[in-house]
Amino acid sequence: MKKVVTLGEIMLRLSAPNYQKIVQAQSFDAVYGGGEANVAVSLAKFGLNSSFVTKVPQSALGTSAEQQLNRFGVSTEHVLHGGDRLGIYFFEKGFSIRPSKVYYDRKNSAFALSKVEEYDFDAIFADANWFHISGITPALSDELFQLSKKALETAKAKGLTTSCDLNYRSALWSFEEARVKMTELIPYVDVCIGIEPLALLGDDGQDIKDRLPKNPSPEDYVPVMEQLRDRFGIRYVALTKREHVSVNCNRLQAYLYDGSQMYQSTEVEVDIVDRVGTGDAFSAGIIYSLISDYKPQDAVEFATGCFALKHTIEGDANLIPISDVEKYMSGSFSINR
C-alpha cells in the first residue's frame, strides 16, 4: 500500500449554525480541520496509508483532534505532544450574495510554536512514497517556513514525490512575502497545485502571470505552466477554476499540465453545503490519481470529482470514498440501496 505523509496544523473549527453571523450565534458547531489534515483524511478514505504530522497540546482538545484523525483511518504515530493550546478558527457561512468569513485564533498554538529540531524526518518518511504540504504552514512563522523547507528537502533527497498546494492566505502574510518565500520552496516540489504566489519574472522584470487576461483560457495558462516546469523542475502543474453563480452555487473546472499537454476537466455546476476544504479535496484527488498511475485526463477528472463532491459535505474534510467519486463520474445520481 502506498504511503503519503502530510504536515501542517489541525485546528478546532467553530461554526455559527444555520447561516447565522457570529454576532448572532448563541452556540457553535465544532469539528476539526486544517488543509493538510483534510488531505490526509481524504487519502485514508481512498485506502492509502495516510500519515499526518503536527504538534498538539496534551489536553482534551489535543486528544480529541488526534482521535478524530484516527477515526477516519489517519495514522498519528508521528504527532508531537506539548504546548498550551490548539489553534481555533471561527467560520461564518455565507448565503446568496453574502460571502462566508473565517476568523483565526491560532496564535501561539502548539504547532505554531514547534521547532524544526523536534521533527525526526528519517522516521517520519520511513517507507513513505509521497509528501504533501500547503502554503499555509510556511506562512505561520519563520520557524515553520524553515520546517517546511527542511521537510521538502529531506523528502526530495529520500526520493519521495512531493506536492504543494500553494494555498495563499492573505490573513497570514502579504502577497509580496508569500511570493518570495514560496518561490524558495518550489524547487523541491514535483507536483504544484496552483500558480500563485510564485515569482515568475520575464525579461522585463515583470511577473509573467500578472499579464494573464482577466478571464484566462486554458491556452493562456500553458506558457505560464511551461515556465514553471522549466525553471523549477516541476513535473505536474494542477489548477482549479471557480465561477461564482452565487455564494451557494459555483461552476468548477480544473486543469492539469504534464509538460506536453494541457488536460481540462469537464465543467461542473454544484450547489454548496460547505465550501471549506474543497481545494484540499482536489489536492487529495490529484495525489491519489497520480500515485495510482491514472492517465492525465483521468487524473484531472477524478480530482475534479473530489473537488465538486466536497461542496456537498458539511465540515472540513471530504468523506467521499472512491466508489462514490466513480459513481458520480459515471453520471449516476440514483439512491444506493
Q: What percent of the chain has pLDDT over 90?
A: 91
Question: Residue 56: CB partners within 8 Å, gap ≥ 6?
Answer: 10, 62, 63, 65, 66, 79, 80, 81, 83, 86, 110, 111
Model pLDDT for residues 271-325, shown as the tens digit of each residue: 999 999 999 999 999 999 999 999 999 999 999 999 999 999 999 999 999 999 9
Higher pLDDT residue, 204 or 309? 309
Parse the chain into domains and list their residue ranges: 3-329
Cα(254)–Cα(257) distance, rounded to whole angstroms? 10
pLDDT of residue 330: 85
Model pLDDT for residues 77-128, shown as the tens digit of each residue: 999 999 999 999 999 999 999 999 999 999 999 999 999 999 999 999 999 9
Longest dimension (CA), the chain: 61
pLDDT of residue 206: 87
- In the block, residue with C-alpha cell 520546517: 147
Q: What percent of the chain has pLDDT over 70?
A: 98
Q: What average pLDDT score do residues 317-334 get?
A: 86
Cα(111)–Cα(82) distance, rounded to whole angstroms? 9
CATH topology assigned to domain 3-329:
UDP-N-acetylmuramoyl-L-alanine:D-glutamate ligase (3.40.1190)
pLDDT of residue 50: 98
Question: Residue 203: CB partners within 8 Å, gap ≥ 6?
Answer: none
Cα(144)–Cα(274) distance, rounded to whole angstroms? 29
Name the phi and psi angles at 173, rounded to 5: -160, 165
Q: What average pLDDT score do residues 121-138 get?
A: 97
Banded model confidence at residue 334, pLDDT cuts 50, 70, 90 = low
Cα(144)–Cα(137) distance, rounded to whole angstroms? 6
pTM above 0.85, yes or no: yes
CA-atom Rg of the chain in angstroms? 19
From 17-26, 160-169, 215-224, 235-244, the region with the lowest mean pLDDT? 215-224
Q: Which of 282, 280, 322, 310 is nearest to 10 (CA)?
A: 280
Three-state helix/strand/coil letters over the chain: CCEEEEECCCEEEEECCCCCCCCCCCCCEEEEECHHHHHHHHHHHCCCEEEEECEECCCHHHHHHHHHHHHCCCECCCCEECCCCCCEEEEECCECCECCEEEEECCCCCCCCCCHHHCCHHHHCCCCCEEEEECCHHHCCHHHHHHHHHHHHHHHHCCCEEEEECCCCCCCCCHHHHHHHHHHHHHHCCEEECCCCCCCECCCCCEHHHHCCCCCCHHHHHHHHHHHHHHHCCCEEEEEEEEEEECCEEEEEEEEECCCCEEECCCEEEECCCCCCHHHHHHHHHHHHHHCCCCHHHHHHHHHHHHHHHCCCCCCCCCCCHHHHHHHHCCCCCCCC
Model pLDDT for residues 46-70, shown as the tens digit of each residue: 999 999 999 999 999 999 999 999 9
pLDDT of residue 333: 56
Name the phi and psi angles at 121, rounded to 5: -75, -20
pLDDT of residue 311: 97
Cα(52)–Cα(68) distance, rounded to whole angstroms? 12
